[in-house]
Amino acid sequence: MTADPLAWLVSLEGVPSAYAAARDGIDVVLRDRGLRRTSPETTAESLLRGAHASAVLEGSASSLAEVREGRGDDIARDAVRLSTQLLGLVPTLRTAPLQALARLHAVAASGSVEPERLGRPRDAESAGRLRDLAGMLTAPTEVPALVVAAVVHAGLATTAPFASHNGIIARAAERLVLTTRGVDEKSLIVPEAAHLALRPAYESNLRGYAGATQAGVHAWLLYAAEAYAAAAEASPLRRTAE
């Protein structure tokens, strides 16, 4: 029997309790704010807010109002375009995650890079890292889905396997994992907005994760648990129910 490659993550001090609390917070928001009564418009609003926040983290200067009106800059338009196709990749992520990751880049970077580079890793090393991530997504694990999403996000953001848009892709992949693994089936929480609100800690902890030390991974996981709690608070459900 193959050992769970992610099991060591939940042996790190504070991680199990932090993620249990984050999941409880998400579940409370989704349940108490009427998950069964939510509309496609609420999901669309969550995706739009997430696209805007992700674009700002990538360097966009567009406001949410501008993005809502279709007047965002190129980075914002790329992020919005990806958000509109994201949930259609749920079945692909389940069965062919490498293909799903490639598609994220192909959609986000369309018109920005040469067609032959869309969805393709930068080099052989990047291709290997993508295969490793895809393998992790298909391997059986008892680790909470929130932890898997955090690791996928950091892995893509820090290795930058594609020619462009790696941050946007990393955050989109995180949301996709949360949806695919049943944490947030209707994609109503907004992790991208949480990362923007916590930007100094977000960027600092990604730099720490890139160092590939246990301390860096540990710090990133604790940060991500905090971000997921904030993502629940950023949901449109919080606004519509208040």
pLDDT of residue 38: 78
Closest CA to 17 of 147, 155, 189, 206: 147
In a domain, 1, yes or no: no
The alpha carbon of 184 is separated from its chain's Cα centroid by a whole number of angstroms, namely 12
How far apart, in whole angstroms, are the C-alpha atoms of residue 137 and residue 96? 9
How far apart, in whole angstroms, are the C-alpha atoms of residue 20 and residue 106? 35
pLDDT of residue 241: 42
95: containing domain: 7-241
Angle, alpha carbons 186-159-109 (nearest 5°)? 60
In a domain, 156, yes or no: yes
What interhelical angle do 145-159 and 166-180 show, nearest 10? Answer: 170
In a domain, 2, yes or no: no
pLDDT of residue 180: 98
pLDDT of residue 36: 52
In a domain, 58, yes or no: yes
pLDDT of residue 24: 96
How far apart, in whole angstroms, are the C-alpha atoms of residue 43 and residue 186? 6
The answer for residues whose C-beta is within 8 angstroms of residue 180's C-beta and 6 or more apart is: 90, 93, 94
CB-based contact 56:195 (threshold 8 Å): no
How many angstroms separate the Cα of 131 from the Cα of each of 45, 193, 213, 237?
32, 28, 21, 36
How many angstroms separate the Cα of 231 from the Cα of each of 7, 42, 140, 150, 226?
25, 15, 26, 13, 9
Residue 168 belongs to domain with CATH number:
1.10.3290.10
Q: Model's pTM, two decimal places?
A: 0.95
Per-residue pLDDT of the chain (242 residues; tens, 9 = 90+): 468 989 999 999 999 999 999 999 999 998 865 545 678 999 999 999 999 999 999 999 999 999 999 999 999 999 999 999 999 999 999 999 999 999 999 999 999 999 999 999 999 999 999 999 999 999 999 999 999 999 999 999 999 999 999 999 999 999 999 999 999 999 999 999 999 999 999 999 999 999 999 999 999 999 999 999 999 999 998 865 43
How many angstroms separate the Cα of 100 from the Cα of each of 33, 134, 164, 173, 197?
31, 9, 16, 9, 28
In a domain, 225, yes or no: yes
Total number of domains constituting the chain? 1
